């Protein structure tokens, strides 16, 4: 590591080093960084260079790609490259389909004390997972035989910290249906820092954990009745998408569902799923 007194203004991320980093990112995280993303990656890495005391991107590249010295930096690199855009009840049609089709179908065949298990994969700061939990809690209040839990994963440690805290800006209130706001939200009393927090009875229904969707094996001990993986697959090429969906299928119970983002589909992917609605698939 370079002494801070020798640091000069960082240079540009050269094409050769960009290729080395982008290949490493693809191999380990499945994210395709096309040449047009070079300037974006350069910008996102500037802070890491300053913190580590490097004056060139080549030095950073050599460091992070050295397994012995760079392994602790892998997670920092992940934080730099991942996009964490999320909203409460994003793409509401998926929630409507779940509430109106999937859940009523499920309770027709469910046995006593059976848990409806959901996985939010690529959960980011937890807004999707808590949205699902609110919807399921509301359904359970109308159907007393229904019980559930939600598992939620992400590759970013930083967003998982936010998710577990379950504290969000007051502006996010507008994304949440009015009938859920009083039941499932707490409002801060600090007028100078207005925030909302998910109520404990919803938070306790959601378990967050770290997971790289490119891992060879997910090592999850349970199977699911529903998997939400929305607006995550768009960052992967088709081969990687197929590999991930095949793992999802293995973890789905018979007749269970997979919900993708509106711009994502399984067209031409032979993975044992039938399309039931746009971006919504059922295991066959």
pLDDT per position as a tens digit, 62-118: 998 876 655 678 888 888 888 777 899 999 999 999 999 999 999 998 877 789 999
Q: Is the pLDDT of residue 217 over 80?
A: yes
Q: Is 44 a catalytic residue?
A: yes
Q: Determine the Cα–Cα distance for residues 158 and 43; give it in Å rounded to an integer.
A: 19
Catalytic residue, from 17, 48, 154, 225: name it: 154
**DSSP of 78-140, one letter per residue?**
HHHH------TT-SHHHHHHIIIIIHHHHHHHPPTTPEEEEEEES-TTTHHHHHHHHHHHHHH
For the chain, the domains span 4-81, 92-283
Q: What is the mean pLDDT of residues 266-282?
A: 94
Half-sphere exposure of 126 (CA within 13 A, CB side): 28
Q: Which CATH class is domain 4-81?
A: mainly alpha
CA-angle at 217, arms to 213 and 222, nearest 5°: 90
Q: What is the mean pLDDT of residues 214-224?
A: 91
Q: Determine the Cα–Cα distance for residues 52 and 116; give it in Å rounded to an integer.
A: 46
Report residue 206's pLDDT band, with 50, 70 and 90 as the boundaries: very high
Q: Determine the Cα–Cα distance for residues 99 and 259; give it in Å rounded to an integer.
A: 13
Confirm or reject CATH 3.40.50.970 for domain 92-283, answering yes or no: no
Q: Answer yes or no: are the C-beta atoms of 4 and 208 closer than 8 Å.
A: no
Catalytic residue, from 44, 90, 181, 197: name it: 44
Q: Is 154 a catalytic residue?
A: yes
């Amino acid at each position: 590591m370079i002494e801070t007194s020798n640091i000069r203004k960082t240079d540009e991320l050269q094409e050769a080093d960009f290729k080395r980093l982008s290949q490493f990112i693809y191999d380990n995280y499945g994210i395709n960084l096309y040449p047009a993303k070079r300037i974006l990656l350069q910008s996102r890495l500037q802070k890491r260079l300053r913190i580590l005391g490097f004056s060139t991107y080549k030095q950073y590249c050599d460091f992070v790609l050295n397994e012995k010295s760079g392994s602790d930096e892998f997670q920092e690199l992940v934080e730099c490259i991942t996009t964490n855009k999320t909203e409460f009840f994003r793409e509401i049609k998926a929630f409507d389909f779940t509430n109106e089709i999937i859940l009523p179908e499920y309770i027709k065949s469910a046995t006593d004390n059976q848990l409806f298990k959901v996985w939010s994969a690529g959960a980011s700061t937890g807004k999707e997972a808590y949205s699902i939990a609110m919807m399921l809690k509301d359904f359970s209040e109308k159907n007393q035989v229904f019980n559930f839990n939600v598992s939620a994963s992400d590759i970013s440690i930083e967003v998982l910290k936010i998710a577990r805290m379950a504290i969000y800006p007051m502006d996010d209130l507008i994304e949440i249906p009015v009938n859920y706001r009083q039941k499932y939200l707490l409002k801060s009393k600090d007028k100078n820092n207005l925030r909302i927090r998910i109520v404990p009875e919803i938070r306790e229904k959601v378990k967050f954990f770290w997971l790289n969707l490119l891992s060879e094996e997910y090592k999850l001990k349970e199977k699911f009745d529903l998997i939400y993986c929305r607006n995550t697959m768009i960052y992967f090429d088709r081969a990687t998408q197929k590999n991930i969906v095949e793992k999802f299928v293995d973890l789905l119970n018979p007749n269970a569902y997979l919900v993708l983002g509106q711009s994502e589909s399984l067209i031409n992917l032979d993975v044992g799923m039938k399309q039931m609605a746009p971006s919504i698939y059922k295991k066959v």
